[in-house]
Structure 1
Amino acid sequence: MSYNIYHNLLIKSSSKNVFDAVSKPEHLNNWWTLKSSGTPKLNTEYNLNFTDDYNWFCRVSELKRNTSIHFKMTDADKDWAPTTFGFDLEPKDGGTLLMFSHINWEGDDHHFKHSSFCWAMLLNGLKNYLEKGKVIPFEERN
């Protein structure tokens, strides 16, 4: 059995802007990672760096420009290693409905539950970044 995290939120921004914010390192670093690298192209590798101890890698496993991007973890801690996370986008009410998923967790332990909470907080940060231009310093992101 696998466990999954899902969050949906409406962002008052275009699908292109939301796609760029969840796929381009210069934007990821403003709401999620400390520093990242990668290119939104199918099968390319991304480096997601949070600290020296949390320097993870993934690859683009699904891609439809301005519509969806999914990442399969390739090197991460043992809980994240088998997982895939992604962002599906749909125009809605003059903005974009972001449908987030983080699937294939092996258990519903503390780390799974904590990660679900963290994703909710980070996605709210993404919303504020896109709608208000607000960047929370990395050290203050929980």
Structure 2
Amino acid sequence: MSFNIYHNLIINASQKEVFDAVSKPVHLDNWWSLKSTGNPELEAEYNLNFTEEYNWFCKVSKIEPDSIIAFKMMVSDKDWNPTTFQFELEPYKEGTMLKFSHVNWPEANDHFKYSSFCWAMLLNGLKNYLEKGIIVPFEERN
């Protein structure tokens, strides 16, 4: 049995803008990671650096430009290692519906629950970044 996190939200930005924000390091570092590297291409490796202790690696496991990008964790926390997180984008009125998933957690433990809360907060930060240009300093992100 595995456990999954799901969050849907509407962002008043184009699918391309949202896709770029969830796939390009120059944008990821404005709402999620401290510093990251990678290219939105199938099998491309990303380095997601949060701190010296949390210097994680994943690879693009699925991609449809401006529509879907999924990342399979490779080197991370033991709870995150078997997981994949995905951003699926659909047109919605004048914006984009973002359907987020983070699947295949081994347990619904405290880390799983905390990560679900953090994703909700971070995705709200992504929304504010795209809609209002707000960049929350890394030290203040959850």
> In which range does the TM-score fall when normalised by the shorter chain?
over 0.9
Q: Which amino acid aligns with 1:39?
A: N
1:68 Cα shift?
0.4
Q: Which amino acid aligns with 1:96?
A: T
2:42 maps to 1:42: yes
1:30 alignment partner in structure 2: 30
2:94 alignment partner in structure 1: 94
1:114 alignment partner in structure 2: 114
> SS where residue 80 of structure 1 aligns?
coil
Moved runs in structure 1, 4+ residues, more than 3 A?
A: none
Correspondences of 1:50-61 after superposition (within 5 Å): 50-61=50-61
Q: Which amino acid aligns with 2:109?
A: D
| Alignment RMSD (CA, Å) | 0.3
1:132 alignment partner in structure 2: 132
Q: With the length of structure 2 as denominator, give the TM-score of the two structures.
A: 1.00
Q: Which amino acid aligns with 1:123?
A: L
> SS where residue 118 of structure 2 aligns?
helix
Gaps of 5+ in 2: none
Q: With the length of structure 1 as denominator, give the TM-score of the two structures.
A: 1.00
Gaps of 5+ in 1: none
Aligned equivalents of 2:69 and 2:26: distance in 1?
16
> SS where residue 43 of structure 2 aligns?
coil
Q: Which amino acid aligns with 1:62?
A: K
1:113 Cα shift?
0.1
1:75 alignment partner in structure 2: 75
Q: Deviations over 1:92-142 (max 9, x none)?
A: 011000000000000000000000000000000000000000000000001
2:10 alignment partner in structure 1: 10
2:123 alignment partner in structure 1: 123
1:74 Cα shift?
0.5
Q: Which amino acid aligns with 2:38?
A: G
Aligned equivalents of 2:77 and 2:105: distance in 1?
12
Q: Deviations over 1:26-76 (max 9, x none)?
A: 000000000000000000000000000000000000000000000000000
Alignment coverage as a number of residue pairs: 142
Same amino acid, percent of matched pairs: 68
